[in-house]
Amino acid sequence: MSNTQETTPTAQKAPGADVTSKRAKIADFVSANGALVGLLVLCVAMFIATPDFLTPNNLLNVGIQASVVAILAFGQTFVIVTAGIDLSVGSVAALSAMVAAFTGQSWGMPPLVALLFGLLTGLAAGMLSGAATAYAKLPPFIATLAMLSVARGLTLVVSNGIPVPTSSVVTWLGGSIGPIPMPVVVLLVMGAIGWFILNRLSVGRAMYAVGGNLEAARLSGIPVKRVLVTVYALSGIFAAVAGLVLSGRLASAQPQAATGYELDAIAAVVIGGASLAGGVGRISGTLIGALVLAVIRNGLNLLNVSAFWQQVIIGLVIAVAVGIDVLRRKRA
């Protein structure tokens, strides 16, 4: 009798299997990091169009231009993750900066105390919007639209419609440490704080749960109302910081400062991959979204493109970003 050996045939890959697998991995990477890929492509295109774009000084300018919108957008990310929206951040930023300047100039408060008053103003405005949404059951659009008007009106009342000089501390926020601009430093610090809140704290996980399914979050024991108030309060604080940085750059608190910035903040969050339907959003994506907007504006300025056409182009970018979000949700 002879012993027979059974051999198991080795699985052979189809000729195009490796290529298909690589394509699938690339497609998955682009889908998950579309904003980053878009930013890199945009930078290359701007460099080809104008070599001055990638100079160190111009890149620092891009960071400075992105700083205020990015800080506003970090706070907006919390709100959009919970399926809300905050239209008041630009006005709250202006009011916070004005309160900080006014308490320092007219009331003679020490610079750090005046800065604290500015931060508390943003916190209070955010908590009011959150309470109106969570307890009064106002739609976020209406609650924050009302706060937009109230905050801008109070800014004009406090300032009497004229700019107010800022304190030395606030002016320092608009300066630099050696070659590094302070607005960029503040941007990175606030981004790190936002990332930590969203990814390492229980309230961050609760935000995703509320945005994913509010009723399910409530039934699972998450204090939905408290989370919503916290979210808008954080948005108000981040708006206050953005307002202080902006007034530091201008060396004065301007009554009409940050007008329209709320739309740029929302655009940055959406371009960064967040979903307006809630439950999806990342601080890193928001930073990339803000950089995309800054790169577009900076590049178009270098190319001497009219500010009117810049608005058209930014609007088209926002429309494409929202369209991609809709397609992504349909596919999911």
CA 257 – CA 255 distance, rounded (Å): 6
CA 1 – CA 7 distance, rounded (Å): 19
Decide if 53 contacts 47 (C-beta within 8 A).
yes
Tell me the per-residue pLDDT of 23-82, one tens digit each, with 9 for 90 and over. Answer: 766 666 666 677 888 899 999 999 999 989 999 999 999 999 999 999 999 999 999 999
Q: Classify domain 37-331 by CATH number.
A: 1.10.3470
Tell me the per-residue pLDDT of 207-251, one tens digit each, with 9 for 90 and over. Answer: 999 999 999 999 999 999 999 999 999 999 999 999 999 999 999
Burial annotation 58-77 (CB, 10 A radius, 16+ → b, else e): bebbbbbbbbbbbbbbbbbb
Give the pLDDT score at 13.
57
Share of the chain above pLDDT 70, in %: 91
Give the pLDDT score at 291.
96
Give the pLDDT score at 1.
47
Q: Where are the domains of the chain?
A: 37-331
CA 244 – CA 266 distance, rounded (Å): 20
Tell me the per-residue pLDDT of 253-311, one tens digit each, with 9 for 90 and over. Answer: 999 999 999 999 999 999 998 988 899 999 999 999 999 999 999 999 999 999 899 88
Rg of the chain taking only CA atoms, in angstroms = 23
Nearest to 59, CA basis, from 174, 180, 173? 180
Tell me the per-residue pLDDT of 161-184, one tens digit each, with 9 for 90 and over. Answer: 999 999 999 999 999 998 899 999
Average pLDDT, integer, range 148-171: 95
**Run of H or E including 164:** strand 164-165
User: Chain-wide mean pLDDT for the chain?
Assistant: 90
| Pairing verdict, β 176-177 and 180-181 | antiparallel
